[in-house]
Structure 1
Amino acid sequence: MSQTVNLRQHAEEAWNAEGDASIAHIAPASDRVLEVADGVGLLPGFGNVITFRDDDELVLFDTGNPVTAEISHAAIRAWSDLPLTAAFYSHGHFDHVMGLAPFDAEPGPRTQVIAQERVRDRFERYALTAGYNAVINQRQFQIPDLQWATEYRQPDVTFRDAMTVTRAGFTFDLFHAEGETDDAAVAYVREHRLLLPGDMFIWLAPNCGNPQKVQRFPREWAIALRRMASLGAEIMAPSHGVPIFGADRIEQVLLETAEWLESIVEQTLEMMNAGARLDDIVATVRPPAHLASRSYLAPKYDEPEFIVRNLWRRYGGWYDGNPARLKPATDAELARSVAAMAGGARVVADEALRLLKDGDLRLAAQLAEMATQADPDDADLHVARAEVYAARAEAEESLMAKGVYAWAASESRARAPQESPDAG
């Protein structure tokens, strides 16, 4: 059976929700490029690499991540030994721009990198906030020793709004989009009616509210999706997950994802314009019920309430409408006051555990957090905090929430009383 048939079968399974093709599934590095179409391949991984070749040159759309760069290089070189003349960045996230080092080490002319112009600004920001990005990505992906780079393979050629490039016998029509990032480059390859959306489609609800990352762009994302849907692509190869084959399916996922985002945007802005507080908006806004069954809109990576908060940040600033939080006491001061009224931090922790047993995980987490803030050196309180956050991590669907809560549970386990080696 050919690689093309295997990939199409995998794509069919993903369409029928028979397997996890989404960004939430951390795909292992592949050692084989799969054929998408004549002269076009896809190297699966956490950050796919889309490959193009003719008789003279090799071109990449996205380059992969630094951890698997050597494996990816070997797989691509098994697919083609032609000179790598050009590489496109779909955007500046590390899992898309960190795979060129083995190619740059080869003899011959250096690969030309093409990207939207804001990628350079992103790399500058990454260098300024390397420590912060290391911490938040350790927490999000549960990788304690993850390091954050301060040097990046800069683009050689950039564009602002649109650009057409012809390489390896293919015509790449590029246009700028804002969505998960402000520096996205979407490509349409005319010869195969092939759409390359980067992370504008990830087989899940859009990563548009990530609580630990910089501004996302829900409204602009929907606009870009509708523009992509108008192209009439026959194949769509995202930078995470398997391709989608068929114009009808591509149009469906793009337009329904746009509708899903637009609904959240419209509801949020309507309540903001009416003077509602952020708390009330988060508690009220819901995505369209008729799209709830779509596997490619499942909130397994990001989730709607985070998108609402991101919209508030985009359009409303950091003040959430509660005057007590404009210039509040510190969290620790508030926690000590509440604990004193309750009869001590352990009483607060006991109430957190009672709420946990009753299934009120949100309030349980707030009280468990308050208890340890009131008396951070009481190791027994950390036992309760670890139990509550472990339960929250287990109950959550999105990778974002799971990562934060699992990390919090680990923090408290490290401070909880340790069993004696002779115990038991």
Structure 2
Amino acid sequence: MAENPASQWTSTARRTAQEAKFFWTGGPIEVAPDTWFTSIGSGVTAFATDEGLVLVDSGTRLFAGEMAEHIRTRTELPVHTAIYTHGHVDHAFGLGAFLAEGQTAPQIVAQANMDERFARYARSPRHNATINSRQFGGRTDDPTFESEDLRFGYPEYPPTRHYQQSLELRVGEATFELRACRGETDDHTWVYCPERRVLCTGDLIIWGVPNAGNPQKAQRYPWDWAKGLREMAETGAASLCPGHGGPVVNDPGLVRRILLDTAGFLEDIVERTLAVLEDGSPPHVDIVRRVDLPESDAPWLQPVYDEAEFIVRNVIRYFGGWWSGRPSELKPAPRADVATELAALAGGVGALLARATELAPRNMALACHLADYAVEAAPDDPDVAEGVARLYTDRAAQETSLMATNLYRSAAASAEAKRPFA
């Protein structure tokens, strides 16, 4: 069970937890001797050693240059080794900016599944651009997401060394313990340097509800994630460098608390979801409604990016397959046909939209179901488009997580453009 985060905090720990939020940007911060952390969009940790610099993650191409400048205010050492915690674009694509001119190519270490991830990205670039446009821009036609940096594929500097479950590296006087942990991805690594007591978690810690339920992305693994967090807690780390947000510096009690609290949160969701699945395996939407979602006041467990309901759905997907459990949805009719029939029964799309507008103040979720049918039955009707866009704009404003907010904004943009939801 997740611990009560309000008890037994030092004033330093409380201040850290209040300031080091998901969108934190800053650095370089010295987290241990000769070790610095910086973050713009995502975090990079640099360890200076007798043999050169060890980097954990490299940011995106978009922001890596500025983060490299941060690190270069502290050291001019060439990069000896880079470790990618996972293959997402904001962690494994910016290494070039950190390399010194004319330096020997560094070794690049990653978990063995990473190459398969890059191959998948290379096969679906337009898909990646579209779903990330929705998730981060709130629309599907944003030209920003046509860039190479956000369409994905293979990074300029791919891994040169792979491992399966664990690997110990020795670079100069420093040891780096690498451990695989399926969590947000199936190629995730966390890194611990025992001499400096620095733990680099990648996206296993992001100063928010773990990204274990992303509606558009590949399967997540919250049960393995929780196990990995408990293993990290046993390292005795004094400083924590997360995938997103600011670091915890020289506060082993707070580091341990964050790790165990997050593990408990994930375990609660998994066990409560499985309990409902075991109770007759009802249709998926009914499972979601019956799960008692855990809540926390902890600053590191707020739904700023992902949220607990989405994690429940990811657990269901893993254990329950893709079918919703509703008989009509096993081999459903085209949505446009269903929408047209419902509009006819209601007395026209105007009646559907009017009822949606009436319901919105007291039941926005139900209102949006009717709005979907209205716009799908008459996508070219300007009054319907305007009304549906207004409903989804209002719904987006009520959300707390970035994913829900931007996906509803995307729905509003699609309606305004008289495009089918996509």
Q: TM-score scaled by structure 1?
A: 0.90
Do 1:59 and 1:168's aligned partners in 2 also have CA atoms closer than 8 Å?
Answer: no
The amino acid of 1:14's aligned partner reads T
SS at 1:191's partner residue? coil
SS at 1:302's partner residue? coil
Please give the residue correspondences for 1:208-357 in structure 2 after superposition, counting only pairs within 5 Å.
Answer: 208-244=212-248, 245-275=250-280, 276-289=282-295, 292-356=296-360
Q: Which of 382, 386, 404 pairs up with 1:383?
A: 386
Do 1:205 and 1:298's aligned partners in 2 also have CA atoms closer than 8 Å?
Answer: yes
The amino acid of 1:101's aligned partner reads G
SS at 2:110's partner residue? strand
The amino acid of 2:68's aligned partner reads H
* Alignment partner, residue 5 of structure 1: none
How far the C-alpha of 1:218 sits from its partner, in A, is 1.0
Between the aligned partners of 1:61 and 1:168, the Cα distance in structure 2 is 16
Do 2:276 and 2:290's aligned partners in 1 also have CA atoms closer than 8 Å?
Answer: no
Per-residue displacement from partner, 1:67-110 (whole Å, max 9, x unpaired)?
11222222222221111111100111110011112345721211
SS at 1:48's partner residue? strand
The alignment yields a C-alpha RMSD, in angstroms, of: 1.9
Per-residue displacement from partner, 1:150-194 (whole Å, max 9, x unpaired)?
231210011000000011421001110011111111111110222
The amino acid of 1:228's aligned partner reads M
Q: TM-score scaled by structure 2?
A: 0.90
* Alignment partner, residue 366 of structure 1: 369
Matched, 1:39 2:45: no
Q: Runs of 5+ in structure 1 lacking a partner? A: 1-7, 417-424
Per-residue displacement from partner, 1:246-284 (whole Å, max 9, x unpaired)?
222222121111111111111111111222221111112
Would the alpha carbon gap of residues 98 and 12 (structure 1) be closer, same or farther in structure 2, given more than 3 Å must change?
farther
SS at 2:73's partner residue? helix
How far the C-alpha of 1:210 sits from its partner, in A, is 0.3
SS at 2:242's partner residue? coil
Between the aligned partners of 1:218 and 1:381, the Cα distance in structure 2 is 40
Do 2:31 and 2:198's aligned partners in 1 also have CA atoms closer than 8 Å?
Answer: no
* Alignment partner, residue 4 of structure 1: none
Would the alpha carbon gap of residues 10 and 150 (structure 1) be closer, same or farther in structure 2, given more than 3 Å must change?
farther
* Alignment partner, residue 206 of structure 2: 202
SS at 1:389's partner residue? helix
Between the aligned partners of 1:388 and 1:165, the Cα distance in structure 2 is 54
Do 1:286 and 1:304's aligned partners in 2 also have CA atoms closer than 8 Å?
Answer: no
Between the aligned partners of 1:317 and 1:375, the Cα distance in structure 2 is 32
Would the alpha carbon gap of residues 86 and 10 (structure 1) be closer, same or farther in structure 2, given more than 3 Å must change?
farther
SS at 2:244's partner residue? coil
Deviates more, 1:33-42 or 1:271-280: 271-280
* Alignment partner, residue 133 of structure 2: 138
How far the C-alpha of 1:414 sits from its partner, in A, is 3.0
Q: Runs of 5+ in structure 2 lacking a partner? A: 1-9
Per-residue displacement from partner, 1:28-78 (whole Å, max 9, x unpaired)?
5x5x52211111001121111101113441111111111112222222222
Do 1:58 and 1:168's aligned partners in 2 also have CA atoms closer than 8 Å?
Answer: no
Please give the residue correspondences for 1:91-102 in structure 2 after superposition, counting only pairs within 5 Å.
Answer: 91-102=86-97
Do 1:53 and 1:168's aligned partners in 2 also have CA atoms closer than 8 Å?
Answer: no
Between the aligned partners of 1:284 and 1:315, the Cα distance in structure 2 is 16
Do 2:29 and 2:36's aligned partners in 1 also have CA atoms closer than 8 Å?
Answer: yes
How far the C-alpha of 1:359 sits from its partner, in A, is 2.8
Matched, 1:14 2:20: no
Do 2:86 and 2:189's aligned partners in 1 also have CA atoms closer than 8 Å?
Answer: yes
SS at 2:213's partner residue? coil
Do 2:359 and 2:366's aligned partners in 1 also have CA atoms closer than 8 Å?
Answer: yes
Q: Which of 393, 402, 406 pairs up with 1:403?
A: 406
* Alignment partner, residue 395 of structure 2: 392
Percent identity of equivalent pairs: 39
Between the aligned partners of 2:11 and 2:258, the Cα distance in structure 1 is 18
Q: Which of 115, 122, 125 pairs up with 2:117?
A: 122
Do 2:379 and 2:418's aligned partners in 1 also have CA atoms closer than 8 Å?
Answer: no
Between the aligned partners of 1:157 and 1:283, the Cα distance in structure 2 is 45
* Alignment partner, residue 150 of structure 1: 153
Do 1:352 and 1:367's aligned partners in 2 also have CA atoms closer than 8 Å?
Answer: yes
How far the C-alpha of 1:405 sits from its partner, in A, is 0.4
Between the aligned partners of 1:414 and 1:243, the Cα distance in structure 2 is 42
The amino acid of 1:85's aligned partner reads H
SS at 1:197's partner residue? strand
Between the aligned partners of 2:81 and 2:109, the Cα distance in structure 1 is 7
SS at 1:390's partner residue? helix
Between the aligned partners of 2:51 and 2:119, the Cα distance in structure 1 is 35
How far the C-alpha of 1:338 sits from its partner, in A, is 0.4
Q: Which of 154, 160, 167 pairs up with 1:163?
A: 167
Do 1:91 and 1:184's aligned partners in 2 also have CA atoms closer than 8 Å?
Answer: yes
Between the aligned partners of 2:130 and 2:12, the Cα distance in structure 1 is 35
Deviates more, 1:383-392 or 1:273-282: 273-282
Q: Which of 35, 38, 43 pairs up with 1:48?
A: 43
* Alignment partner, residue 3 of structure 1: none
Q: Which has the higher contact order (CA 8 A, sep 6+)?
A: 2
